[in-house]
Structure 1
Amino acid sequence: MTTINNALSGALAAQLALNTTSQNVANVMTAGYTRQGVLLSAMFLNRSNAINPGDGVAVPSLIRFSDGYKNHQMWNAGSSLGQYSTAQPYLTQLEQVMGDDTANINAGLDNFFGALDAASVEPTSSPLREQVISAADALAQRFNNLRQLLATQRQSVYQQRTAVVAQINEMTGNIATLNDKISAAASTGALPSGLIDERDRQIDQLSGLVGLQVIDQPDGSRNVALRGGQPLVVGSMASTLAIQANPNGSQGLKLTFARESFTLANGNLGGNLGGLDDFENKVLLPLTQSVADMASGMASQVNAQLAAGYAMDGSAGAPLFTFDPTSTNAMLGIRSGAIAQDLAFSSSPTEPGNSANLLVLIDLKNQPVVVSSLGSTLFGDAYTQLVGKLGTDSQQNQASLKTAETVRNQAEESWKSTSGVNSDEEATNLIQYQQMYQANMKVIAVANQLFDATLAMFG
């Protein structure tokens, strides 16, 4: 009977191994599936008999081929990829608009100062003066269009951040639920491989939204926290992330776990949230302020110089531009009621044809203006420098994005080398376990023949 029992245990072990292999083959194309294997162990139940060869084979557990280090590598790479990929569409759009000849401010400045230069030939010409006002209005519109684009991008950032926060809350809730199920299954001795795979997929997706720290627990659960240590998931409990409006109109993040609340500081968030935060605070807001500085400098310098001159009727010069830093679509404009005769091109109230003040106006493009992100620079060079700085930011982000893509791809390949299903390897396993099963069944057949022969001897 020992022979039959040994062979039966071998056949059952081979059958379980075949079932496991078939599960791997069935999921060869399933994203995130972790391959499994059987752990075979020789049985020695009766050790009192010195000549007992053993009691067959047992399968104490299934093996889940998973490497925690490679998982963490993949999740960290996912956070970097999510961060740089989120910012790039915004940067590309800004580059396209600010570099377009029909929309960029440099072309408007050239037209405006060109109109002033043309008027210097005949300062009393009404058509030439009208052309100056038209060019000034067109320049103001270019500033306003760019200001409107920047405001629209900020609203898009706010909407995307709100959507990302909702996704984070959904995924942390799912991870907490899976933690609970995995812990319950582990307490019964089961291997909840499918649940663990699903939890890892949720963590992987979450890592693309925000940078994570993941810590394995003895009960099979995983605690998840932000890079700063603030908890997202602890066991079966999940935190809640919320958007809070700051007094200055910006968005902040508030994390609530149990009865504790944390205000998250900007920076080092990682993932989509980190990308949005970096773009808003390092590119969008400084650029918005710089454009406003340029518009303010244009309005104040031109208006101040016009105030030093005289109009066609000898009256003191009136402002040409208006500036409203709070407006998103009318930041820079032409003074209501401004007419060609009001332009104070003359430096003398008694000489309408005098162009001395006009020549000073023309030279304003060579005068310094203070722009927050550039410091003091020539007015005619400020916009070019802003576009150049934006291009540098975009190129750096693109380079970081390519690096992140490469690292992520390498991390995925490294993960697959351990956890992914290899069709050739599984085909080999099928043959080996089939041979193991057939061999054990042959042993059972031989044992039956021997038993029948033994019974015949006493028949």
Structure 2
Amino acid sequence: MIQNALSGALAAQAALNTVSQNLSNQMTDGYSRQGVVLSAIVPGAGDRLGAGMGVDVTAIRRFSDDYKNLQMWQAAAGQGELAAAQPYFAQLEQVMGSDGTSLSAGLDKFYSALNAASVEPGSIPLRQQVISEADALSRRVNNLNDVFAAQQASLNEQRTATLAQINTITRAIAELNGKVVDASASGVNASGLLDERDRQIDALAALVDVRVSQQRDGSLTVTLRGGQPLAVGDTSAELSTRTNADGSQTLTLQFAKERFTLPDDNLGGQLGGLNQYQSEVLQPMVDAVRTLAGELATRMNSQLASGYDLSGLAGKDLFAFDPASPDGMLQVSDIQAAELGFSSDPAKPANSDNLLALIAIKDQAIALAGLGTVTLSDAYAQLTGQLAIDSQQNKAGLETAKVVRGEAEKNWKSTSGVNSDEEAINLVEFQKMYQANMKVIAVANELFDSTLAVF
């Protein structure tokens, strides 16, 4: 009786310690509740009348569901991917839609000046207004191009910072792998180490989508979607970037003696969101605006060259287009108002036939990637509209991703979270168990004393 009761009291004490640990960590982020696993000690061989030898605490169980962990990590990756791109969407949408920076507004003013000049083609003030509006339009193009360049620089900086975070976390996961293996081998409860490792993986999943597999020794292998290793055992990878001639970046992964070049897509998480925004939104927009400005300059200059100015000479170029120019890819050339080739007849300087042909350029078709064939006058509006659609889809997707993440956290807490009411019940029950076993010991002592009194 004393042996049984003593084992029961010790088991109750272990359970009470576990309950107290749960209650003290009920607000600890990422803490997984624990519980004791009890088993009866059976009587020895040949002991026909023995009830048993008490109870044994076979383990301290950590309540964790690998599937729910995986759901939460995937939700973190999805949310991180959309959240990373949203600020860039909002900024670009605001800039491109603003009247002060919109190319549509600039084109409208430029063509309004051309229409006004068509009423009196020989008027120097009206011709000068055309040049002024062309200059204003070129400044809008260059300002928008500067915004693109600023976003590209910001993406590069954020990508570099994200890679530094990923490297720090993967090193921590690899170190925790080693500690978990050591703790398991020495029989130490590794619950705290496992919780910390799960927290690190959750933080990593928000930065890049990962795949996690359990190994027999208790360590976790963490890889990218494509299978490239991030942490294997106590060894971690190192991510870095290489800047290309065009300003873009190439991602590389160094693991042991192997080096991998990572794809720009299919990475997920914040890193994948940055890459996806750059390749699917920003770069196509840069190319489209560059094409629009180049086509406008080329067609305007070509049409002006086929006309004649007020002196009966061939018209000069109005625009200078150079994407590599540090002063801006679209500039107004050094041209005087009288040198605009509005006339189609050198003998009739006030003729407006060529000017009307210049005005008609806005209805000419150009091919833009992602939009197909559009007119010069509608191209920018359609670019802005497509950006607005993409931005709203990303925003709606982000709201959905937040809900999915919230539900995944609730599911995780249903298994691993600490329920204070449940722990309070356990506290009372194990307290009663401890007291009952103490009572058994007291009864055993009384019986022992009574037996001694007989003799």
Q: Do both share a fold (TM > 0.5)?
A: yes
Deviations 1:344-400 (Å, cap 9, x if unpaired)? 111111212111111111111111122233232111100011011111211221222
Residue identity matched to 1:73: Q
Secondary structure of 1:421's counterpart equals: coil
* Correspondence for 1:313: 311
| Cα deviation, residue 128, structure 1 | 1.1
Question: What does 1:113-128 correspond to in 2, within 5 Å?
Answer: 113-128=111-126
* Correspondence for 2:77: 79
Distance 1:339 1:375 in 2: 36
Question: What does 1:274-353 correspond to in 2, within 5 Å?
Answer: 274-327=272-325, 330-335=328-333, 337-353=334-350
Contact 1:211–1:269 (CA under 8 A) maintained in structure 2: yes
Question: What does 1:14-53 correspond to in 2, within 5 Å?
Answer: 14-53=12-51
Q: Extract unaligned runs of 5+ from structure 1.
A: none
Deviations 1:224-247 (Å, cap 9, x if unpaired)? 001100111110000111102234
Of 237, 246, 255 in structure 2, the residue corresponding to residue 257 of structure 1 is 255
Distance 1:114 1:448 in 2: 109
Of 407, 410, 415 in structure 2, the residue corresponding to residue 413 of structure 1 is 410
Secondary structure of 2:331's counterpart equals: strand
| Cα deviation, residue 305, structure 1 | 0.8
| Cα deviation, residue 329, structure 1 | 5.2
* Correspondence for 1:357: 354
* Correspondence for 2:446: 449
RMSD: 1.1
Mapped pair 1:428 → 2:425? yes
Distance 1:133 1:415 in 2: 65
Residue identity matched to 1:269: L
* Correspondence for 2:155: 157
Mapped pair 1:399 → 2:430? no
Residue identity matched to 2:73: W
* Correspondence for 2:171: 173
| Cα deviation, residue 457, structure 1 | 2.1
Q: What's the % identity of the aligned pairs?
A: 56
| Cα deviation, residue 150, structure 1 | 0.7
Of 218, 221, 226 in structure 1, the residue corresponding to residue 219 of structure 2 is 221
Contact 1:145–1:329 (CA under 8 A) maintained in structure 2: no
Contact 1:215–1:222 (CA under 8 A) maintained in structure 2: yes
Q: Output the TM-score relative to the length of structure 1.
A: 0.97
Question: What does 1:194-213 correspond to in 2, within 5 Å?
Answer: 194-213=192-211
Deviations 1:17-65 (Å, cap 9, x if unpaired)? 0110000000001010000000011112523210011111110110000
* Correspondence for 1:385: 382
| Pairs aligned (count) | 455
| Cα deviation, residue 448, structure 1 | 1.3
Q: Output the TM-score relative to the length of structure 2.
A: 0.98
Distance 1:321 1:411 in 2: 57
Q: Extract unaligned runs of 5+ from structure 2.
A: none
Distance 2:5 2:56 in 1: 11
Distance 1:82 1:409 in 2: 13
Residue identity matched to 2:368: V
Higher mean alpha-carbon deviation, 64-73 vs 447-456, is at 447-456
Taking structure 1 as reference, are residues 323 and 379 closer, same or farther at Cα in structure 2, changes over 3 Å only? Answer: same
Secondary structure of 2:310's counterpart equals: coil
Mapped pair 1:233 → 2:218? no
| Cα deviation, residue 248, structure 1 | 3.6
Distance 2:230 2:95 in 1: 39
